């Protein structure tokens, strides 16, 4: 099994943010996670990425228990997460961002000869620059790659987050609301990027509120409510599920 | 352009001027510049406000001299076990601070506590360190000179050339570090540590590295300082020593390669230019520093690089 989560819980004081959730993700799959605000979606991804330590339960990644492992090691093992609110290195340029994110790729290129990084071997640098260029082009950030990241629009900031994650060459990419706050053209572009990732065999796990957006990409949907998994299956199954409708979609229909 | 090249013309100063005061100011500038460059790596690049570099500076002087006199080996050989000692201490202090994820103010306070601990040990370990009285250093470093055999480095001009060379070596080393991937990762940690971690950067290891490099540079500076001034005392590892280096980095320009050296020059030279009584001098010194920090947040070097951009 690629990723196997068993009875994973996270408590913050008296609040149970994630309550004994179990789920599996197969290699190459695209899984969408939906649920109302506060249902534990982001907490779940933060647990998978190592940003939070689980209160109980296990996370098996390619047969290895990674619960409680530090985020940098988890990233090195191939699970990378983007942030809902773009996280950047404020004063650095767009290109510098993706080059920093190329750190893991550089490690893989040089292996044990990592001490060479001080003298930056030309071949490795060129290889990484070529990758950075490809990723930036795909994310439509190659124009003005020298701009400071502070000059980017909100949508571009979010795409830069995706670009950095792509530079890490993840096996499993966790996207936390990648489409929120994006304009229609930007969402189309994001779709192109996700399709490219899918073609390259990257497994994706996407949180989003836009059910239509999720249904378009995901092979499978998982619905959460109050930290519990209430449905898991194809888009049709999940969106037709009575508890999902009442917990989430139903309320939206009433509100609309 | 490589910043180290800018130092080369300074080799000509002893040919042009025999002014002892000027050369002495420059020697202290170079020695304290090494200390400030080290602090700049851990603070200006990696963003960790350490207060331990003063202790490392003092240990550099004490340990080198004590090892040299107990074992009867040369200055350069004595520096190797001294560096090993500073390396071990840095790893211990760094491990405690970074394992407990101390940041900013908390990191500063805890490193300061460790530094004070070491100062108190030095102060009270009379048998070895001679307590408050300090140690008189009569030995000098020696080098092998082609044609001249083994010669002692004594007198202003040889010391000038040696400290300038040491500063040059430290400048080149720090430049290689900060312009490499290691330097990029330092910047990532300074600007957004959580993001750096999710991108696979082992922030613990890189913070340890920055902290250790800074302390090794400080220890080198401390050894040179003790042997040049012929005297080692507990004040050399006090909080004032740490604060002086911080002032130099802030004044000269944080996060630039030679900024700390410019700051070291200004703060070493200034007291000689301003001929006030000691108390008034300290106050003037403080006032200048406050003004500079308020008006030139990127330091003297930052000011000049801005001009260059405009023109």
- CB within 8 A of A219, min separation 6: which ones? A29, A30, A31, A234
B131: exposed, middle or buried (Cβ count in 10 Å: 0-12, 13-18, 19+): middle
Which tens digit of pLDDT belongs to each residue from B158-194?
999 999 999 999 999 999 998 888 999 999 999 999 9
Q: Could you say which residues from 73 to 132 on chain A have a Cβ atom under 8 Å away from some Cβ of chain B?
A: 73, 75-76, 80-81, 83, 87-92, 96, 99-101, 103-104, 106-107, 117-120
| Residue A177 CB-half CA count within 13 A | 16
Which tens digit of pLDDT belongs to each residue from A87-145?
999 889 999 999 999 888 888 887 766 666 666 677 878 888 899 999 999 888 888 88
Query: What is the predicted pLDDT for the residue at A250?
Result: 57
Please state, in angstroms and rounded to a whole number, the distance separating the CA atoms of residues B23 and A106: 46
Please state, in angstroms and rounded to a whole number, the distance separating the CA atoms of residues B23 and B19: 6
- Structure-block tokens of residue B169: 């070596």
ipTM of the complex, rounded to two decimals: 0.87
Please state, in angstroms and rounded to a whole number, the distance separating the CA atoms of residues A219 and A234: 6
* Closest C-alpha among A44, A37, A46 to residue A82: A46
- A138-164 average pLDDT score: 89
| Shortest CA gap B200–chain A (Å) | 4
**CB–CB contact A120 B202 (8 Å):** no
Whether domain A1-78+172-185+203-256 has CATH 3.40.50.280: the reply is no
Q: What is the DSSP string of B151-167?
A: EE--SHHHHHHHHHHHH
* DSSP assignment letter at A51: S
- How many Cβ atoms sit within 10 Å of the Cβ of residue B16? 8
Give residue limits of the domains in chain A.
Answer: 1-78+172-185+203-256, 87-170
- For residue B42, pLDDT over 90 is answered with yes
Give residue limits of the domains in chain B.
Answer: 3-310
Query: What is the predicted pLDDT for the residue at A38?
Result: 83
Residue in chain A lying closest to B190 (CA): A89
């Amino acid at each position: 099994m690629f990723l196997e989560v068993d009875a994973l819980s996270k408590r913050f004081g008296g609040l149970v943010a994630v309550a004994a959730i179990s789920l599996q993700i197969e290699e190459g799959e695209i899984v969408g996670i939906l649920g109302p605000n506060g249902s534990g979606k982001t907490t779940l991804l933060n647990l998978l990425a190592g940003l939070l330590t689980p209160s109980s339960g296990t996370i098996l990644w390619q047969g290895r228990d990674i619960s409680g492992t530090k985020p940098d090691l988890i990233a090195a093992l191939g699970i990378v997460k983007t942030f809902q609110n773009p996280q950047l290195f404020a004063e650095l340029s767009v290109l510098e961002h993706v080059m920093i994110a190329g750190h893991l790729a550089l490690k893989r290129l040089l292996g044990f000869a990592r001490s060479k990084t001080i003298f930056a071997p030309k071949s490795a640098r060129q290889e990484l620059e070529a990758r950075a260029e490809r990723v930036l082009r795909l994310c439509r950030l190659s124009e003005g790659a020298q701009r400071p990241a502070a000059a980017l629009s909100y949508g571009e900031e979010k795409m830069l987050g995706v670009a950095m994650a792509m530079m890490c060459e993840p096996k499993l990419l966790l996207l936390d609301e990648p489409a929120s706050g994006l304009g229609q053209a930007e969402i189309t572009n994001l779709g192109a990027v996700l399709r490219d990732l899918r073609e390259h065999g990257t497994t994706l796990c996407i949180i989003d509120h836009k059910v239509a957006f999720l249904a378009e990409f995901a092979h499978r949907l998982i619905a959460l409510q109050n930290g519990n998994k209430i449905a898991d299956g194809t888009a049709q199954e999940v969106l037709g599920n009575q508890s999902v409708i009442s917990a989430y979609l139903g309320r939206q229909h009433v509100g609309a | 352009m490589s910043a180290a090249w800018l130092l080369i013309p300074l080799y000509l100063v002893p040919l042009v001027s025999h002014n002892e005061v000027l050369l002495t100011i420059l020697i202290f500038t170079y020695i304290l510049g090494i200390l400030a460059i080290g602090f700049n790596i851990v603070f200006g690049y990696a963003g960790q406000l350490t207060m331990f570099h003063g202790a490392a500076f003092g240990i550099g002087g004490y340990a080198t001299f004590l090892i040299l006199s107990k074992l009867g080996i040369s200055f350069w050989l004595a520096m190797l076990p001294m560096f090993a000692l500073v390396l071990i201490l840095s790893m211990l202090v760094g491990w405690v601070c970074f394992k407990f994820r101390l940041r900013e103010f908390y990191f500063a306070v805890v490193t300061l506590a460790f530094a004070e601990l070491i100062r108190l040990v030095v102060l009270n370990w009379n048998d070895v360190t001679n307590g408050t009285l300090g140690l008189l250093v009569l030995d000098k470093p020696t080098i092998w000179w082609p044609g001249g055999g083994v010669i002692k480095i004594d007198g202003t001009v040889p010391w000038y050339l040696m400290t300038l060379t040491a500063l040059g070596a430290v400048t080149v080393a720090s430049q290689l570090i900060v312009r490499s991937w290691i330097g990029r990762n330092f910047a990532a940690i300074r600007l957004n540590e959580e993001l750096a971690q999710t991108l696979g950067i082992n922030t613990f290891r890189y913070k340890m590295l920055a902290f250790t490099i800074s302390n090794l540079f400080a220890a080198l500076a401390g050894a040179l300082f003790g042997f040049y001034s012929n005297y080692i005392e507990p004040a050399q590892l006090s909080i004032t020593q740490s604060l002086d280096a911080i002032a130099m980095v802030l004044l000269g320009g944080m996060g630039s390669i030679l900024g700390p050296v410019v700051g070291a020059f200004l703060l070493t030279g200034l007291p000689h230019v301003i001929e006030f009584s000691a108390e008034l001098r300290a106050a003037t010194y403080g006032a200048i520093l406050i003004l500079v920090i308020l008006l030139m947040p990127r330091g003297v070097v930052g000011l000049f690089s801005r001009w260059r951009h405009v023109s």
